[in-house]
Amino acid sequence: MKQIKRIKGTQDILPPISQKWQYIEKTLRKVMRCYGYNEIRTPMFEMTELFARGIGQLTDIVSKEMYTFQDRSKKSLTLRPECTAPVIRAYLENNLGEARPVQKLYYISAMFRQENPQAGRLRQFHQFGVECIGPQAPEADTETILLGLDIYQELGLKNFSVKINSVGDVESRVAYKSQLKKFLKPQLNDLCQTCRERYESNPMRILDCKNESCNEILASAPRILDALSENARSHFEKVLSLLDQNGVEYEIDHRLVRGLDYYTFTAYEFIGGGLGAQNALGGGGRYDLLAQEIGSKKPVPSVGFAAGIERLIMAMDKENLFPEMRKNVDVFIATFGGKSQEAGFKLAHELRKNDISVLTELMGRSLKAQMREANRSGARFALILGEDELRNGRAALKDLQKSEQQEVVLGKLATEILKSRQM
């Protein structure tokens, strides 16, 4: 019979690698708490319309990357390709804005996009992200950037940078788009195929193009920062000045527009080193228009970012940032002869109730094999329990690190093991 294999672009996260995930998640939660964020968990799938309207029909995500299917009642559902739209949907649906004017929410969850996998790109991947919902103030924008940086710093990441831009408000964008189109019009035929299509559908995305000849043309293109409205300009300046005041180094990238339609004002990216072709660790910005796109009657200003965990792990591996993974087994109970196996089994049960990590032999192997297993498991101690020991209520407790062995009264085993932990 044919072996069933995992789906393309998915991963089995096996031990001990899963410990890296736990380490990162623990750090994330710690920093999130410092910034006053609370965790939100939304469903893994949503009505397709949420993403189609929220992210934008013309984006790559919606037009060609979504896992969309019909359920039995013919509703079109989609595995979430990102989590900002679901969070805002949950915010609106549960009237969180009525509860308090500022909601700071974070998530750590799986996302799905049907793309061809490569280094740093999977079909099921994981993001952590924050959404600061309610405030319009530039302080909120800067705070999310500081939060992201704190996470990377807390994890020890050295090789990364911040790029930032402003894509302005609606008014600025209308003005800029026409400037850009006017600039490009005479050179339209020199642009690549996709850029020519975008000229009508979404001219700002042309800035994103990496094609060499497009690059040359775009080098002298008008800059959006010069087209910002008064409001958008002062917002951006405040964001930058707060970054400066807090010692953040950043690079203004005039061509950073980001692929999702919902961004307004600030847009930024965390760029990592050594990640291969996919070097964005995370990206975010302000998205004041999203809530209304998905049905809110009033505007709900929000800012946030999403960042990839797989890419973070790659970057951290590159810099060797994961601490030594401890094997947390306290004792391996090796038994042989008579009733020792059952006695050892029962002893393990008692020790475990004292918060002690215990392994017992489950393969019926020889003492020698059990000792080897004890060593391999990383256990601090091996308890050697034979018939003789059982008779007089004592057993040999061998410290596998020091290679020392002592006799212990079985009743005092728990205290003995717990004592050794403090040393």
Partner RNA sequence: GUGGGCGUAGCUCAGUAGGUAGAGCGCCAGAUUGUGGCUCUGGUGGCCGCGGGUUCAAGUCCCGUCGCUCACCCCA
Q: Applying CB under 7 A, which residues contact RNA?
A: 5, 8-9, 59-61, 82, 113, 115-122, 125, 127, 194, 208-211, 258-260, 269-270, 276-283, 306-308, 310-311, 336, 365-369, 371-376, 382, 384, 386-389, 396, 398, 400-401, 403, 405
Q: What is the DSSP string of 333-357?
A: EEEESTTHHHHHHHHHHHHHTTT--
Q: What's the closest the beta carbon of residue 339 comes to RNA, in angstroms?
A: 13
Nearer to RNA, 117 or 273 (CB): 117
Q: What's the closest the beta carbon of residue 293 comes to RNA, in angstroms?
A: 16
Nearer to RNA, 137 or 371 (CB): 371
Nearer to RNA, 125 or 152 (CB): 125
Nearer to RNA, 5 or 297 (CB): 5
- Measure the CA–CA gap between 411 and 406, rounded to whole angstroms: 15
Nearer to RNA, 229 or 357 (CB): 357
Q: What's the closest the beta carbon of residue 6 comes to RNA, in angstroms?
A: 7
Distances (CA, A) of 260 to 17, 84, 128, 193, 338: 32, 11, 17, 20, 69
Q: What's the closest the beta carbon of residue 313 comes to RNA, in angstroms?
A: 11
Give which of 414, 413, 409, 412 is closest to 394, Cα–Cα.
Answer: 409
CA-angle at 88, arms to 87 and 89, nearest 5°: 90
- The helix or strand, by DSSP H or E, that contains position 78, with its residue range, turns out to be strand 76-79
CB-CB contact of 79 with 44 (8 Å): yes
The pair of three-digit structure tokens given for residue 311, joined into one six-digit string: 């890419």
Nearer to RNA, 89 or 258 (CB): 258
CB-CB contact of 162 with 264 (8 Å): no
The helix/strand/coil state of 250 is coil
Q: What's the closest the beta carbon of residue 11 comes to RNA, in angstroms?
A: 8
Nearer to RNA, 206 or 348 (CB): 206
Q: What's the closest the beta carbon of residue 306 comes to RNA, in angstroms?
A: 5
CB-CB contact of 103 with 96 (8 Å): yes
- Measure the CA–CA gap between 168 and 165, rounded to whole angstroms: 9
Q: What's the closest the beta carbon of residue 391 comes to RNA, in angstroms?
A: 9
